[in-house]
């Protein structure tokens, strides 16, 4: 169907060459749909890899500054609690966390396996980095050694430095938002969570909001391989994004 529609649209728009390009694009679309919808085994493999790599890399990042703080352990436990893991899965998550903080853990090998499974799904990879940043900020600050490891991870997974810095600012604001008891984000936190500055136009703010909601949509992420148990984390992120957007809109009404 993708090849047919692409060929017809391409021919009507650009002629013969357009038809050829349209068929090629349609073929890529058909292939992607087949991989996502017709290969449940692959989806399960992605979920398994995402789960184990999430906690293993989390343990490695936590150990990057030489020791795993009580706050970092609590953050890992909070992630597990959010996922409502069964006793067996919680045991597996703890084992992966401990594997990641061991001296024999090979980060690059782990990342290569993760990349092979998940690199086609950019939003899934970003979600992976966000979870790691969330854990790294557990003690209130991002240590320079943790920052260096996370930047290395992003480089290995194809996320450019500027995109990492944006994610870091957004997650830092999100963590600060969660640390106080106010009903709304502060203006600074709200803009940072949305990834825009105060000089952005209303249209730019709205565009950023819609992009982030689409990227973090729980059903979309699960369909791409996010473990079902992590859906609550994705829902929490969409809630924070929506609250930040509401805060900015209220500020601009004044």
Number of domains in the chain: 2
- Do both 18 and 90 map to the same domain? no
Helix (H, G, I), strand (E, B) or coil at 121: coil
Helices and strands (H, E) in the chain, number of each type: 13, 0
- Do both 9 and 81 map to the same domain? no
- Do both 122 and 168 map to the same domain? yes
Are 96 and 52 spatial neighbours (Cβ–Cβ below 8 Å)?
Answer: yes
Range of 27's domain? 2-37
- Do both 145 and 26 map to the same domain? no
pLDDT digits (tens, 9 = 90+) for 120-145: 778 888 889 988 988 888 777 788 88
pLDDT at residue 26 in the model: 60
- Do both 134 and 22 map to the same domain? no
- Dihedral angle sign, alpha carbons of residues 53, 115, 218, 252: positive
Report how far residue 26's alpha carbon sits from residue 1's, in angstroms, rounded to the nearest whole number.
8
- Do both 6 and 123 map to the same domain? no
- Do both 115 and 11 map to the same domain? no
- Do both 151 and 177 map to the same domain? yes
> pTM above the 0.75 mark?
no
- Do both 157 and 117 map to the same domain? yes
- Do both 224 and 211 map to the same domain? yes
| 201-230: average pLDDT | 82
First to last CA, the chain: 51
- Do both 55 and 19 map to the same domain? no
pLDDT at residue 38 in the model: 42
pLDDT digits (tens, 9 = 90+) for 72-105: 888 788 778 877 788 898 899 999 999 999 999 9
Report how far residue 178's alpha carbon sits from residue 240's, in angstroms, rounded to the nearest whole number.
9
- Do both 58 and 86 map to the same domain? yes
Tokens 């290395």 identify what position?
Answer: 152
- Dihedral angle sign, alpha carbons of residues 228, 121, 207, 196: positive
Q: Which of 81-85, 192-196, 208-212, 249-253 has the lowest mean pLDDT?
A: 81-85
């Amino acid at each position: 169907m993708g090849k047919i529609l692409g060929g017809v649209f391409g021919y009507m728009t650009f002629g013969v060459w357009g038809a050829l390009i349209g068929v090629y694009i349609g073929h890529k679309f058909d292939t992607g749909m087949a991989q996502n919808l017709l290969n449940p085994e692959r989806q399960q493999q992605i979920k398994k890899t995402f789960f184990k790599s999430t906690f293993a890399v989390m343990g490695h990042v936590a150990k990057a500054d030489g020791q795993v703080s009580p706050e970092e352990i609590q953050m890992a436990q909070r992630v597990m609690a959010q996922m409502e893991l069964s006793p067996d899965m919680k045991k597996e998550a703890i084992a992966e966390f401990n594997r990641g903080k061991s001296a024999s853990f090979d980060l690059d090998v782990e990342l290569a396996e993760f990349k092979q499974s998940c690199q086609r799904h950019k939003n899934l990879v970003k979600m992976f980095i966000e979870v790691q940043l969330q854990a790294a900020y557990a003690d209130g600050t991002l240590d320079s050694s943790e920052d260096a490891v996370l930047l290395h991870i992003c480089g290995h997974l194809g996320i450019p430095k500027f995109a990492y810095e944006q994610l870091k600012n957004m997650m830092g604001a999100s963590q600060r938002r969660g640390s106080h008891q106010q009903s709304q984000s502060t203006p600074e936190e709200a803009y940072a969570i949305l990834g825009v500055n105060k000089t952005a136009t209303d249209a730019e703010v709205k565009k950023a909001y819609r992009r982030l909601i689409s990227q973090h949509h729980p059903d979309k992420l699960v369909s791409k391989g996010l473990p079902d148990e992590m859906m609550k984390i994705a829902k929490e992120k969409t809630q924070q994004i929506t609250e930040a957007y509401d805060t900015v809109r209220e500020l601009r009404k004044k």
